[in-house]
Amino acid sequence: REQDPKRWVVQLEGGGLCFTPFDCVARAKMLLGSSKEWDPENTPENNHHLTSDSPLNPLANWSHVYVPYCSGDTWLGTTKHWHVSLFGLQMSGFLILQAVVEHLAATTALATASDAVLSGNSAGGIGVNQHTDWFAERMRELAAAAGVGSPRVVGVPVEGFFFPKNFPVLYPQFAVGNRKVLDNFAAKYVTGLFAPTRLHEGCVQAAKEEQFDSARCFGASVVLQYSRTPMFVISNLFDQLMIHDLGVCLSCSSNSPAASVPGQYIRYFGEQAAQTVEDLRKAKPDFGFFVTSEYHHDENFNAIFTSREKVIGGESLASAFWLWYE
């Protein structure tokens, strides 16, 4: 949806990931695994977050590009050929993003934009964490080729905070007093199932220099430390998906008593998330944050961007964004 020709939002859809080859094959038969059944009439205003046309969306009047998700690889894959291990499927999330940007540059006014935002929710937020620096550099190259000044570029990940520091810790081990972090949780995907992948280049280079496993660059608490582009991070302090599904706390809910073990696990996660935000705030003074204390994944933000004004410290999401951006 082209509106302001100088201001653009590119929104990456979320939708989890495939965990096993069989899971990937099953996804390939659904909307999150193939574009064959996508509705050609689906437009950005029919979706949520920063492509909403609601006045609660701070960028409602910008030009909007909504990029559906079908790769199942959290927008990381760089495969141009079929995976034998995936029964002929390929993981090409980053290549899809590249192709979309090149298509927009050739067919719209994106190349001459003065402002550009890369956003995404959930798995799309992971893509934002990893690729905003690339997007900013590509926008500068496009502007130079068009003979105009470089645009201002920022990233806005929505519930892409996978993972805060000291997480994931599985609930069954937490319940018996074990706080050991599963450091290799992401490695089996970024160096295995999804490989080859494109992780943030600055973080990967730092991993070589500082001698840590580059797969750790998947984690938000790690990769955002290396972002050169300002980010406005939107998240819930108590992420239901990470707590309930990834942490396998099936008894955790918004009604869990604080003194119960599920309640303690929820609070543990919230403490790690809050500390991660504080660490990033100190390390990245050009970052902004809008972090609620709600127990949700990204479903509450569907409403916050469209129909329910959320206020933190006297500021709505829209006013908080503009105070940061301006």
What pLDDT, in 10s, does the model give residues 305-317? 999 999 999 999 9
Q: How far is CA 178 from the centre of its chain?
A: 29
In the chain, the domains with their CATH numbers are 4-319 (3.40.50)
324 or 49, which is more confident: 324
Return the number of other C-beta atoms located less than 10 Å from residue 302's C-beta: 17
pLDDT surpasses 80 at 48 = no
Distance CA 308, CA 48 (A): 13
pLDDT number for residue 188: 75
- The sign of the dihedral angle between the CA atoms of 241, 247, 250, 253 is negative
3-state secondary structure of 219: coil
Q: Sheet holding 115-121: strands in order across?
A: 62-67, 4-12, 115-121, 152-158, 232-239, 288-296
pLDDT number for residue 195: 87
pLDDT surpasses 80 at 60 = yes
pLDDT surpasses 90 at 131 = yes
Confidence class of residue 135 from pLDDT cuts 50, 70 and 90? very high
184 or 245, which is more confident: 245
pLDDT surpasses 90 at 44 = no
Give pLDDT tens digits for 268-289: 999 999 999 999 999 999 999 9
3-state secondary structure of 103: helix
Beta-sheet strands, E only, within 175-287: 232-239
Q: How far is CA 42 from CA 68, 72, 103, in A?
A: 10, 20, 18
Once rounded to an integer, what is the mean pLDDT over residues 258-274? 98
Mean pLDDT lowest for which of 3-7, 63-67, 80-84, 113-117?
80-84
User: How many residues are recorded in the chain?
Assistant: 326
pLDDT number for residue 121: 96
Confidence class of residue 159 from pLDDT cuts 50, 70 and 90? very high
Give pLDDT tens digits for 71-90: 999 999 999 888 888 888 88
pLDDT number for residue 45: 60
Which string of DSSP letters, residue by residue, matches 10-59?
EEE-------SHHHHHHHTTSTTT-STT--TT--GGGS-GGG--STTSTT
Distance CA 299, CA 268 (A): 22
* Closest to 193 (Cα-Cα) out of 94, 68, 89, 67: 89
Once rounded to an integer, what is the mean pLDDT over residues 209-219? 94
pLDDT surpasses 90 at 206 = yes
Return the number of other C-beta atoms located less than 10 Å from residue 28's C-beta: 18
